[in-house]
Homo-oligomer: A and B are copies of this chain.
């Protein structure tokens, strides 16, 4: 026993000697500890289950596709009846690290967020009651929920809590930049490092900092120049009614930004280089040179982490008691 401890200490000591963590405005991300595997598995099933939508066709994964960086790679999402969504679907990856959810922060946490799209007529087009009715009709779900939550009756709370618990596992550690942050000099190239130095020196880290490289403040989109868009979203002002909050949005994470195109709340920019250029002009009052944009973009691509890796979940089948989805208006 003593021997093992000594060995463990000497390993961690030599790792620390090899790679001293750096003191930077960005911190590395760590894998999420899973404390309740059964809850996570339940949440994973629900995340992939299109029966939480009116049509039986749209699941959480439809717009937060875990094969595609936790986003749908569309300017705004496709909702029930092919409605055009009002705002770009933010990545679900590392979303537990954000100070609030949605672009305007109107949900305090992931559980509250998960309930939103289900009952949004523009998104999944369902109601919480109807979603609960579907899940409560399926014995395998009822059994899991009873076992995990020690409740007699299924409610929307267990459904959204399980989804949130699954989402908390969707972190993406070990990006090359994280390895560099932990002291591995070779994890990024000299060119990428120049990009990071620029990223700091021009002021990007004023908002894009911390573990999630964003996600921890609300900022006005368009400080030095107005952001020109047809998108009607007003940001936090939509909640507060305060003029000062117009176009104030949650700063998005830059982790996995290579995967989460198109960019900004209206999804108007597909190229990362363009997004960097627009941000520097509008938020920092600075026109970057082409080679500066190239370097910062190269740095941003070092933020792609290990994507969540798991077996495609199998969904318990509906049965004769399960309400039938309504994809099309009745004729």
Considering the complex, give the chain B residue whose CB is closest to the CB of A325: B74
Bound form: Cα–Cα A48–B62 in Å = 11
Which B residue sits closest to A262, measured CB to CB? B324
- Interface-side segment among A137-145, A160-168, A199-207, A315-323: A315-323
Q: Are A57 and B78 in contact (CB under 8 A)?
A: yes
A313-B67 in contact (CB<8A): yes
Contacts of A314 in B (CB 8 A): 67, 307
Report whether B310 and A312 are in contact in the complex, using a CB–CB cutoff of 8 Å: yes
- Which B residues are in CB contact (< 8 Å) with A317? 68-69, 258-259, 261
A297 to B: closest C-beta gap in Å? 10
Structural contact, A66 and B328, CB atoms closer than 8 A: no
Q: Is A178 an interface position by the 8 A CB rule?
A: no
Asked if A133 is an interface residue, CB under 8 A from chain B, the answer is: no
Q: Using Cβ atoms and an 8 Å threshold, which residues of chain B touch A318? A: 73, 261, 270
- Counting chain A residues whose Cβ lies within 8 A of the other chain, the interface size class is 35 or more
Residues in B whose Cβ lies below 8 Å from that of A66: 312
A68 vs B66: C-alpha distance when bound (angstroms): 17
Q: How far is the CB of A51 from chain B (nearest CB, A)?
A: 8
A84-B271 contact in complex given A67-B315, A310-B312, A315-B68, C-beta closer than 8 Å: no
Kindly supply a per-residue 1/0 record for chain A positions 15-51, scoring 1 wherever the CB is within 8 Å of any chain B CB and 0 otherwise. 0000000000000000000000000000000001111
Give A contacts to B, CB under 8 Å.
Answer: 48-51, 55-57, 62, 65-69, 72-74, 78, 81-82, 84, 258-259, 261, 270-271, 273, 307, 309-315, 317-318, 320, 324-325, 327-328
Given A56-B73, A270-B320, A311-B311, 9 additional A-B pairs, CB 8 A: A55-B74, A57-B72, A67-B315, A261-B317, A261-B318, A270-B318, A307-B314, A309-B311, A312-B312
